[in-house]
Each structure stands twice: as structure tokens, then as C-alpha cells.
Amino acid sequence: MSRFIKYLKCSRCGRIYSYEDARITCENNDLGRLDIYYDYEAMKEVVTKDYLAKIPLESMWKYKDLIPPKDESKIVSLGEGATPLIKAKRLAEELGLKNLYLKDETRNPTGSFKDRGMSVAVSVAKEFGFTKAVTASSGNAAAALAAYGARAGIDVIAFVIEQAGYGKIAQLLFYGAKVFRVRGLGREDPTVKLMRMVHEKFGFYMAPSFGPFNPYQIEGPKTISYEVVEQLGWRRPDWVFVPVGAASLLTGVWKGFRDFRELGIIPDLPHLFAVQSTGNPPFVRAYKEGQDPFNIRPWDHPHTIAWGLEDPYPWDGDAGIAALKETKGDAEEVPDELILKAMKLLASREGVFAEPSGAAGLAGLMAALEDGRIDKDEEVVVLITGHGLKDPDVVKESAGDAPTISADLEEFKAVLSNAYGIKI
């Protein structure tokens, strides 16, 4: 398992820790993410393309040599990962692309990519001996933590933003989490404030889906990149479009491709494209303006239908900006109207039902094509990060409701014509 972990290093002050120190945050800088460094030279002797190809892709844990925990018996899994990479032929034709793929993370156990990170985070919490965890979330990460916490026997306190959809709240309650909606989202995220206070006062394991307060969860999304490479026949695509809130997913995807490059499985990295909503684009603004990666200005009044991307401050923005620079990537903000259009296209052309934040990557691709930033001959992968049933209220507001009729053929024909424009 983690025999290849060399050490953890604070992204801000550079202090080094061993994995066995069981650290969550840096002693010198509580905003410093503890990045995990691996011994690639030793790993190369074991983790080769031939070695990985012999292991069936049944869950993300086929890549257990590249992620924590140290003790394999501590792994807490619900079968996360191994999600399909769908060749989107109808959607590609609609957009004028030759090769478009959708990495469908809606197939994970709780309906979002957050399951990958929380499987790792809870496994590490179990290895470190924690019995209680606390999180700050827009909904998906908390739902994932609650599910894996239930599986591991770890009690979960979840602070979610006041606007979180009930679909996510319902998941949390059924998993047994103690859930609190927290009001006051602005330049400071009140859920993060409460989470940190509970950790400092009571010693609970912090498990949000961003690095400074949960360094281990970033190792989970790395496996998305491993799977994409394997599913493409052990090669990398030209572009990968990634929805961004805290920038932890972007960081994890970048780290995954870097791992495979260091191991000699791929020769270089794909371009990464970060996407945010115009209602909350602090990361995109920071990238375009060349802001100090460690002092990104928060967004004053986040407001978007993509609630999963409403982090007013991109906690892993320093690594996210480094990812775009190293991969010669790009970033863009997109309006909610385009996100809704992307949701409808995903469902009507490819049968993939995504929540707004889950469809934001496709909206970013549509904007990039409109601006001529993507060559239509290039191979593109879009991450679809969360299921549409996560936000049923948004879906109903956009799609409306179904008409009600009697069991009468003439009434059926009339309503079919009036409501759907189909005459028979």
C-alpha cells in the first residue's frame, strides 16, 4: 500500500512530515495543504503498465499502490470508481467535434466524484484511529463522507450551505449524519468556520473536499486520470474539462496524470481546462489576472445554480493554477444559462443526467469551442461530476412538470400537440 509514500510537505511553509505523524494540517500554517510525495523510482519497479493492465478495473482501488492508506485492511469502500468513459458520438456531432468523451462520475455510490476522495479520507481516518468526523460542504462531499462514515462506523457532523438542495440533505440524513444548514455565505464560508471551530474544540477529524483541512482526499480524484488513460488504451487525451469550486478536483486530476508521467506510462500531460460559473468565478479571475496563488481574492457574493461550485475561496487554488500553467491549460467562466443548456444536451443526446455543477465542464467546452480555443480535431474528455437528482428543484424549475391528462386518446393528442409540439 503506502510503502511508496516518502513524506508530506506543507504547500506554504515547506515543513516536512511523515505519514505516520497522522497530521491533518501544518503546525506552522493552518492554510498550508500537506501534499503527499511519493518515491517514483521505487514505484517504477512495481507499478508498470503491464502490472496495472493485469488487474481488472472494478473499483478505484485497483490503484491502491498509488494512494493511502498504509494498511490495506483499513480501506473503506462502496465500489467507487471504475466509472465509464462514454464516447459521446451524438453530442460530438452536435458540437462539431471528432472525438468527445464523457467521464461519467454520476455512477459513483452516492452520485458524485466526491466518493473517490471520501473513500480515501475515511480510510485514513480509520487508520489514524478517529471515531468522529466533521465536514463543511455544499452537499455532495458531505453526502459522500456520511456514506463512508456509516460504512466505517465513524460519526459525522455535516455543516452545509443554507442553499443546498434537499436531494443532498436527504442523503445525509438517511446515512445518519448530524446535519446543519448554515446561513451567511459570503467572502467567508461559514461552514468552514464552524468546521474548524469544532475540530479545534473537540478534536474531530476534518474531512471537507479540499486540501488545507483534508490532505488525503485529493488522492482519490487522482484515480479519475488513471482510469481515463487506461480506458483510452493507455494514452492521454488532448484536453480534459474540469468543473472548479475549491480547485481540489482540478488538483487531483493534475496529480493523477503527473503520477503516470513520472512512472513512464504516458509521455506528457493533457491540457486541463478549468470551468466556473459567472456567479462565482474567483479561481478563473485569479488565473486570468495573474493573482498571487496563495492570496486569491474571495468572491463577494456567490450566486449560481451550480451550488456545488459555490466556494467563495478556492482553497486549493495555488495547486490549481500550477496545474493550468504546467499543462498549458486554460480557464473560463460560464453563465448559468449555458450550464442549463449543457444539462439538457447531456440528457437528450447521451442519456447522462447531471446536476448543474456536474454539467459545468460541458458548458465550458461549449464556450471554448465558440471562442475558437479548442481545435475540433482534438480529443476531449469532459468530467461529469454529479447526478441530476442531486438538485431536483433546479431541474424542475428548468424543465417544468409533466402535464396531467385523463385516459382519453383525444385529450392525449391535444396535449401532445400543445405541450410538446408533436402532432399525430
pLDDT, averaged across the chain: 94
- Judged on CB neighbours under 10 Å (0-12, 13-18, 19+), 402 is exposed
User: Quick one: average pLDDT of 211-220?
Assistant: 94
What pLDDT is stored for residue 395 in this prediction?
67
Fold annotation for 85-111+218-397: Rossmann fold (3.40.50)
Tell me: pLDDT of 273 over 70.
yes
Tell me: pLDDT of 1 over 60.
no
Tens digits of per-residue pLDDT, 97-141?
A: 999 999 999 999 999 999 999 999 999 999 999 999 999 987 789
Q: Which amino acid is at 193?
A: K
C-alpha angle 180/315/176, rounded to 5°?
A: 25
For residues 11 and 31, the answer to whether their CB atoms sit within 8 Å is: no
Tell me: pLDDT of 46 over 90.
yes
What pLDDT is stored for residue 310 in this prediction?
86
What pLDDT is stored for residue 2 in this prediction?
63
Tell me: pLDDT of 146 over 70.
yes
What pLDDT is stored for residue 164 in this prediction?
76
Tell me: pLDDT of 170 over 90.
no
Tens digits of per-residue pLDDT, 61-90?
A: 999 999 999 999 999 999 999 999 999 999
- Maximum Cα interatomic distance, the chain, rounded to a whole number of Å: 75
What pLDDT is stored for residue 390 in this prediction?
75
Strands 16-17 and 5-10: antiparallel
Q: Calculate the CA dihedral of residues 315, 321, 323, 328 and round it to 10 degrees.
A: 160
The helix, strand and coil proportions of the chain, stated in percent and rounded to the nearest 5, come to 45, 15, 40
Q: Which is more confident, 122 or 308?
A: 122
Give the Cα separation of 330 and 161 in Å (integer).
29
Give the Cα separation of 169 and 358 in Å (integer).
18
Tens digits of per-residue pLDDT, 317-368?
A: 999 999 999 999 999 999 999 999 999 999 999 999 999 999 999 999 999 9
What are the residue ranges spanned by the domains of the chain? 85-111+218-397
